[in-house]
Chains A and B, each alone.
Chain A
Amino acid sequence: MTLLAVRDLSLALGQTPVLDGISFDIAPGEVFGLVGESGSGKSMTALAIMGLLPVGAHPRGQVNLAGRDLLSLSERDLTRIRGRDIGMIFQEPMTALNPMKTIGDQVAETLLVHRAAPRGQAQAVARDRLARVGLPADRFSPGLYPHELSGGQRQRVAIAMAIALRPRLLIADEPTTALDVTTQAQILDLLAGLVREEGLALLLITHDLAVIAGQARRLAVMQKGRIVETGATEALFRAPRQDYTRSLLAASDHRPVRPVRPAPAGTAAAAEPILSVRGAVREYLLPRSAPFAPHPRLRAVNGVSFDIAPGESVGLVGESGCGKSTLTRAILGLDPLQGGTIRLGGSDVTAGRTMSPTLRARVQVVFQDPYGSFNPRHRVDRLVGEPFHLTGRPRDADARIAAALQEVGLDPADRHRFIHEFSGGQRQRIAIARALIIRPDLIILDEAVSALDVRVRAQVLDLLARLRQDHGMAYLFISHDLSVVRAVTDRVLVMQAGRIVEEGPTGQVLARPAHPCTQRLAASTPTIPADWKEPAHAP
């Protein structure tokens, strides 16, 4: 028995083929995974099923939901199916809800628009559904607005909206990609529970093989608009038939060869840390409760101390809101400390103009978003050469820019192009070239590979390892992804509520986490079962 049968689904946008002969089945109550890298056509497949493709896109083939071909339905008929027979949730919970409407109204709207209940009853059902997704009315009033909720809570609201009418199929497009690992685990639990208890089928779309491994019974692997392989999850992981699947699996737990560091003890140079944070305190002023009342303070970083030795790679992990980014900003000299000191190569880091350019030149940063961290109107040479304003532009600036691009695996001729001409992975390489060009002692990588596809991520991690080997710079690697931290760092710091709660050699801490926060992070990180891996992939 089949609930959804996709047959030979093809789609072109303009001249570009986007989907090419996609076919798969989903049974009632089944979790079906769709994996692939960005641009492989996963989301387009979902939108084609929903009939929500961009204007002017005309898919061919068949999408049969319980025997009705959705592609042949009029827009009018499709609006009766969306939200009632198929629900959908999206990647970005922060923007998926209307900021102007209460969460109760937004959930009730699903019922009202399908005339499934009168207004008062719809509100009652909305309360019930919000409670089902973990937002009971006594703690989370249906009168709350989206901005009063966290990302994970908003995703729960989006799920409540999608399941308000108990659809037979729920499509979840990267539902947890924007969330931190512990929230991700909770949302995945919620989805699995809904499948179990309400009997809905789930089409789970993700780039993360580990997420699929824990959730889906069957999956399809997509590449460039085609399905390269379909099968039962475990069998497919144990014995991938296609090279592409194999390369994805290999990249998903890729560990670059870490440079062997000289023994830290003994030599005088090793004894002097490049970065030394002592009792750092960073407070934010919150809005006053009344005019002229004192501002309440929020301690985002509360007495943090640690060192980074030259050439060392240190991981900083923690749930979102633990103070990682605030600490990063203080180390970069962007925000002043309210207590403690940060010393970089023996000099105090101070915020604002009092920090000398020479000192600033010793630390550089690579941010998460490869799309937002460049000025789109500057050419690559200007972007990469930007840090020269700290050191003075050398005579051979052009040659150095070319060399930096080459070092990160790009063509020196790329320096005359604009940033929109590059893919996400290439942009992150450009960001690394920009950080590298003035040879800093420390590079801060703030979720620098989180937005990248697994294979690109593996390449970038290799690049970072090689650069450390060649130039001996230290890394502070901030991430919520423990598998990446495990792969590239020597030592790890675990942060919770503004404090460092656990630290030590990465392998040791992650294998035997002592603090509950670390344990929770480790337990929440989705993993592919070790015995599923082909012998060739086993570490």
Chain B
Amino acid sequence: MRRYLLGRLVSLVLSLVAASLVIFAVIEIVPGDPASYMLGLKASAETVAALRTQLGLDAAPPERYLSWIAGMARGDFGLSYTYKVPVSDLVAQRLTVSLPLAAYALALTALVAFPAGLLAAARRGRIADATVMGATQLGIALPNFWFAMLLVLVFALHWQIFPAGGFPGWEGGIAPGVAALTLPAIALALPQAAILARVLRSALIETEGQDFIRTARAKGLTRGQTMLRHALRNAMIPVMTILGMQFSFLLAGAIIIENVFYLPGLGRLIFQAITQRDLIVVESVVMILVFAVIVVTFAVDLAYAAIDPRLRRRA
């Protein structure tokens, strides 16, 4: 077990280094000079040169890479060109929206997908299965912003249970914040739940066909018992894989939903930073996202080992 953990940790660090190099290189070759962009078209060449020096843009690339990494290690991500505030503050602020939103959406995803997947697998080929499969097909096919607008129409405009958009912050207590995130989380969760339910269903059905399920039935277990006690745990490996990918996606991929609900999340921050050539923000946010993805992957690896004893090698 220790060796497995150590191996995963080493690969985690290596992935981070590789990702930082790629991100840095891409930003290097992207056209557009941040200094001239910040100063506008009318700025003189001297002013631009002065700003470049001030921003540290005229140092050699390896030097800039190292200072970027060193800064990140200290929690200093540099100053945003456009907002003129530390990138770390900017990101931290956006994360207070994006992180809870992703977690909320993921919880809803699991809450819907597990019962649906189990039901469909248990009633395979019957009406309940067909209903779940039809609903999930619809959930995958329909774009989530369409759901979002439907939710706003029904729950915000017609019944006025939840706010239609905006985010009040957490200062006023948890309830208003959660209320503001509820509709976006539902809109994000529905397609994800549809995918997860299908994955769970097919993993369960595949496991149910295995020899050890027959052995369990020969011991006197009912179909339901074999599903919950034997098949579910074996089916968790693909499910964990998908869940991990979904969390990473939800963290930054919520940009459309953030726009629909007017939420100040990470997705919108990146989008604005890219259009404004605020490369330092892009660089940092992408790096943070990569970090998040790699950490989630690591967590998923740990979950694999917790589920499947064959992956825990003798410690």
Contact = CB atoms under 8 A, between A and B. Distances in A.
Interface of A: 50, 52, 75-76, 79-84, 87-88, 90, 92, 95-101, 109-110, 113-114, 145, 147, 158, 161-162, 287-288, 290-291
Contact of A52 (B7, B212, B214): B214
Contacts of A50: 218
B211 A82 contact: no
Given A96-B211, A145-B309, A52 B217 contact: yes
Secondary structure dominating the interface of B: helix
B216 interface: yes
6 tightest Cβ-Cβ pairs between the two chains A and B: A83-B220, A83-B219, A95-B211, A88-B218, A145-B309, A82-B220
A290 B4 CA distance: 10
B218 A100 contact: no
B225 A113 contact: yes
Given A95-B212, A96-B211, A100-B234, A114 B220 contact: yes
Contacts of A109: 216, 219, 221, 229
A87 B218 contact: yes
B230 interface: yes
A291 B6 contact: yes
Contacts of B215: 90, 96-98, 158, 161
A98 B234 contact: yes
Interface residues of B, number: 26
A291 B220 contact: no
Contacts of B214: 52, 90, 96
Given A79-B221, A90-B215, A113-B221, 20 more contacts: A52-B214, A79-B222, A81-B220, A82-B217, A82-B218, A83-B219, A84-B220, A96-B212, A98-B215, A98-B216, A98-B230, A99-B308, A100-B233, A100-B308, A101-B233, A109-B229, A110-B219, A113-B225, A287-B3, A288-B3
Given A82-B218, A84-B220, A145 B211 contact: no
B313 interface: yes
B220 A79 contact: yes
Contact of A100 (B7, B220, B307, B313): B307
B309 A100 contact: yes
Nearest to A98: B212
Contact of B3 (A75, A92, A290): A290
A90 B211 CA distance: 9
Nearest to B211: A95
B192 to A, nearest CB: 26
B310 A147 contact: yes
Contacts of B218: 50, 52, 82-83, 87-88, 90, 162
Nearest to B125: A55
A97 B211 CA distance: 8
A145 B310 contact: yes
Contacts of A101: 230, 233
